Amino acid sequence: MDMKMVAKEDIEEGQDLTPPLSPLSYSLQNSFLSSADLSAAFRLLSLFQSPPSTCPQPRLFGLLTNRDKLLSSEEPDVLLKIRDGARELAKARGNFSDDVILEEALLCLVMTNAVDVQDKSGRSLGIAVYDKEFSWINHSCSPNACYRFLLFETNNTPALHYQPKMRIVPHGKIDVCSSSELAQGCERDDGPRIVVRSIKRIKKGEEVTVAYTDLLQPKEMRQAELWSKYQFVCCCRRCTASLPTYVDQLLEEISVSNMEFMNLSSDDNLLMDEADKKLNDYMDEAVTEYLSADDPESCCKKLENLLTQGLQVEKLESKAGNSQLNFRLHPLNRLSLNAYTTLASAYKVWSIDLLTLCSDTDGHHWEAFNMSRSSVAYSLLLAGATDHLFRSESSLIASAANFWANAGESLLTLARSSAWNLIVKSGLSASKFSLQKSKCCNCSLIDRLEVDSFIRQAQSAGLKNISNELLDCISNLTGKVWSSLIHGCLHLQVIKDPINFSWIDKSTNVSDFRTHSNKSCWTAEIISRKKSERYTNEERVNIFLLGVHCLFYGGHLASICYGEYSHLASHLQNVLYDEDNSIH
């Protein structure tokens, strides 16, 4: 029987389900073995009272090894990793025989149960394997829980003084008692600890689930990744829906224009698959070029061209002979979201490059300011787009929290930029843009509260009420600054509203979002126009207020996922009160 963890009482959203759990084994940074998986597997060997002399059970320490399934995998790389890794592991423990079944089982256990350990910035530090209290939590593409790591805290860390009780219990029976396998005194209390937290209401007896894969992927991609890594087919509510969910439909939506028919045949469906592959390849090429060649300008132009012009694919044997079909991404397609992420980063780097290379002329300061403005606009669009999906699939809350926080930080950086002094006559000093001196005339949420106290009060007020009030202000402020943020950027000009996407639902074809120019992403008009004609101190203040609201909203969502003492809440506090956080 498959094991699972269930709630032993009714649980509200935003509550810890476990105390901090120490890992059975972990591997951070480099080790003397060739991979983190092998290093973690080697650590597990020290936990045995005595290593089994016979073929191991399907479970070790109560955890599923998945050895038989992984060894029957059709992927050569997986088989090679297990075979070679087991031999290396055997040599490391002094086993030079051909019997490496135990080593294979331990390595497969790590591959099946390990989770990536990340630091506060989201950077991967290595992997860790946890005991059954965590490892028995199954996957869902619409999970009701998430988890966070506690990394090497000091005695002054608030999280250490708060010890929640275990609120979930195992459900099911197995033949192996994991505790009997452990050597005396080998229980670990070091390494990265993990805490499971609810992101939805959970009823007593309801199964607790987390995500094993990126939820901002359509069903086919999620299923392929889960099968490749864990050898199972997900049967969650989202995956078994008779029709694709609203979110999954948007994540893979592509529009086809110049077609002579309305319905696609089987051959045309193959053409759609070909187009999807080419769109993926185009995206990968642009991103790889940006990361490897350090060429943000080329990346921006390629991705803007993809978003505005689409992709041309030749269709053979149509009624009129060969024809060119145009494939366009929906603004909420997963590739569009990836493009927004990359463009926000690439425009920011492009701006920094301009200032570094040509810091002595006002013209380059102005152009760099425009690049920064586009970076901010794409960050805001990414946050709004993800939030729209989050409204239909609440398990996307962690992604929404991070993107709102990033958007808020970029807006504050832009508002505090000294470049405004070149654009607005009698410009305001950066010191004017602090939380203590800001006030929102439409809501009472941010004008008197610090981030930590806001988060505590917001938690008690409930997600829906706080979210709606903050989003109303965000939408109102966005309407005041969006045209300024996107001026001159061709693709962004077709995004009518980056927060409320109801305008998309009214369109039946993504080709409605077409622009009618083959120019580069930036027009000569925006580069040469007079700065004073477009921007005012009022817009700068509104950009700052918008950034503050985005940060508070991101902080509120993050408190649901990670708790009021999370690293993100602390980071937001620093950003809000950092008056020197500006571009020079």
CATH of domain 4-240: 3.90.1410
Could you write out the three-class secondary structure of 426-461? CCCCHHHCCHHHCCCCCCCCCCCCCHHHHHHHHHHH
The CA distance from 164 to 174, in Å, is 27
pLDDT tens for residues 123-139? 888 999 999 999 999 99
Q: What's the mean pLDDT in 252-267? A: 62
Q: Are 20 and 194 in contact (CB under 8 A)?
A: yes
The CA distance from 110 to 123, in Å, is 20
Phi then psi dihedrals of residue 496, to 5 deg:
-70, -35
| DSSP three-state, residue 5 | strand
Q: Quote the pLDDT of residue 517.
A: 37
pLDDT tens for residues 345-380? 999 999 988 888 765 666 677 888 889 999 999 999
Q: What is the mean pLDDT of the chain?
A: 80
Provide DSSP, 305-333: HHHHH-EEEEEEEETTEEEEEEEEE-TTS
> Whole-model pTM?
0.87
| DSSP three-state, residue 174 | coil
The CA distance from 262 to 418, in Å, is 53
Per-domain residue ranges for the chain? 4-240, 353-577
- C-beta atoms surrounding 403 within 10 Å: 28
Lowest mean pLDDT: which of 92-96, 228-232, 283-287, 362-366? 362-366
- The radius of gyration of the chain from alpha carbons, rounded to an integer in Å, stands at 26
Greatest mean pLDDT among 121-130, 161-170, 230-239, 536-545 lies in: 230-239
pLDDT at residue 185 greater than cutoff 80 = no
In the structure, what pLDDT confidence band is assigned to residue 559 with cuts at 50, 70 and 90? confident
Distance of alpha carbon 227 from the chain centroid: 21
Question: Angle 36-45/76-92 helices, nearest 10 degrees?
Answer: 40
